[in-house]
Amino acid sequence: MQEGGFPEEEVLTAAQDISQLDNVNVVGVTSFPVLVFNPNTKKVETTYNFDALIKSAEKLEKNGFTVTQINAPGTTSISVMKILNDKGATHIEPGHGFAGMTPLHVFENLPEIPAVLWVTEISHYYNGYFYAYGYGFGPDTLACGEYDVTGFAGNSPDNIFDNQLVVDDYYPAMDYIIKLKESKGISVGDTVIFGFRQQISFSTLKVAIIKGIQNGRPELLGIYDRTGNITYR
C-alpha cells in the first residue's frame, strides 16, 4: 500500500530527468521501508529496498551525481543504528523511535521510553462487554495477533493501573467503538488509557503535549490537530 518512486533499473534516467528541472538538484536517494519488524523472528530486518537503495546510490555516483544522502527510514530506533550504518545509510527519520513505540518496543526493553498515551473513556456496558469510544484507536497491525492488546481504566490516577482491560475486538476501518472483555472495578465514564504505535495523521483526534510528568508536575503545553496546528494553548 506504499508503492511509488522509481524502480532501481530506472533510477539513473529518473535522476537525469529531474536534474533538467529549474532550481532542482539530485543529492540522494530514499526508499521505504528499508527496515521492517518481522513478527515471526521478533527482530528488525533489512528489506530488498535497502539493497536497491545502495545500488541506486552507487549507480548515480558512477554517472556523475554527487550523492550526499542515503535516507533509510523504517522502524528506526537506537537499537538498529548499527545495522543502518554498516549497510551504508547516511540519514534516517526518527519515526516512532522518537516516542519509543516501534513494533520492537513491544517485545524488548529498548533505550527509548514510550512517551505517548491514547486516552478515551468507557461509553457503555452491554451484554457482558464494556465499550469505549474508539476514534483513532489503531494498534500496530505488524504485531497484532502476537499479544493481547491491553489498557487500563479508572477514575483517578491512584486506581487506574489497578484495572487492566483486554480488547476483545475493534474496528480500525470504522473505529467508533472498542469492545472490551469484562473487567471488575470499572464503570461507565471511567478514563481509559492505551499505549500503542500511533498514526496521528490518520486520526481525527486532538494531540495534547504535556511536560513535567517525570517530576510529578505535569503541565499542558497545548492541544494540536493531526496536522500540527494548535487548537488550544
Q: CATH number of the domain that 172 lies in?
A: 2.40.37.30
pLDDT, residue 136, reads: 80
Q: Which residue has the higher pLDDT, 59 or 150?
A: 59
CA dist 105 and 226 (Å) reads 23
196 in a structural domain: yes
Same domain, 211 and 123: yes
CA dist 77 and 111 (Å) reads 8
DSSP state of 91: B
Average pLDDT over residues 164-178: 80
- Residue 70 banded pLDDT, cuts 50, 70, 90: very high
Average pLDDT of the chain, as a whole number? 89
- Cell 473487567, residue? 183
Whether the ω angle into residue 39 lies within 30 degrees of 0, i.e. cis, is no
2 in a structural domain: no
40 in a structural domain: yes
pLDDT, residue 106, reads: 84
Same domain, 103 and 161: no
- Cell 554517472, residue? 63
User: What does the longest C-alpha to C-alpha distance in the chain come to?
Assistant: 69
pLDDT, residue 31, reads: 95
Average pLDDT over residues 21-40: 93
Among 48, 83, 107, residue at a domain's last position = 107
Q: How many domains does the chain have?
A: 2
Q: Which residue has the higher pLDDT, 201 or 156?
A: 156
Average pLDDT over residues 170-195: 85
pLDDT, residue 2, reads: 73
Same domain, 39 and 59: yes
φ, ψ of residue 17 in degrees (nearest 5): -65, -45
Among 78, 107, 136, residue at a domain's last position = 107
Same domain, 184 and 225: yes
Same domain, 16 and 41: yes
pLDDT, residue 172, reads: 66
Q: Which residue has the higher pLDDT, 152 or 107?
A: 152
Same domain, 78 and 125: no
Please name every residue paired with 125 in a beta bridge, in sequence order, or none if there are none. 130
- Residue 146 banded pLDDT, cuts 50, 70, 90: low
pLDDT, residue 173, reads: 64
58 in a structural domain: yes
Same domain, 30 and 77: yes
Question: Does position 199 have pLDDT exceeding 60, yes or no?
Answer: yes
pLDDT, residue 19, reads: 95
- Number of Cβ within a 10 Å radius of residue 79: 18
Question: Does position 164 have pLDDT exceeding 80, yes or no?
Answer: yes
pLDDT, residue 120, reads: 93
CA dist 206 and 170 (Å) reads 20
Domain limits at 90? 8-107
3 in a structural domain: no
Same domain, 102 and 123: no
Extract the C-alpha cell encoding 226: 493531526
Same domain, 140 and 222: yes
CA dist 101 and 124 (Å) reads 29
Q: Which residue has the higher pLDDT, 162 or 136?
A: 162
Question: Does position 8 have pLDDT exceeding 90, yes or no?
Answer: yes
Same domain, 77 and 124: no
Among 86, 107, 128, residue at a domain's last position = 107
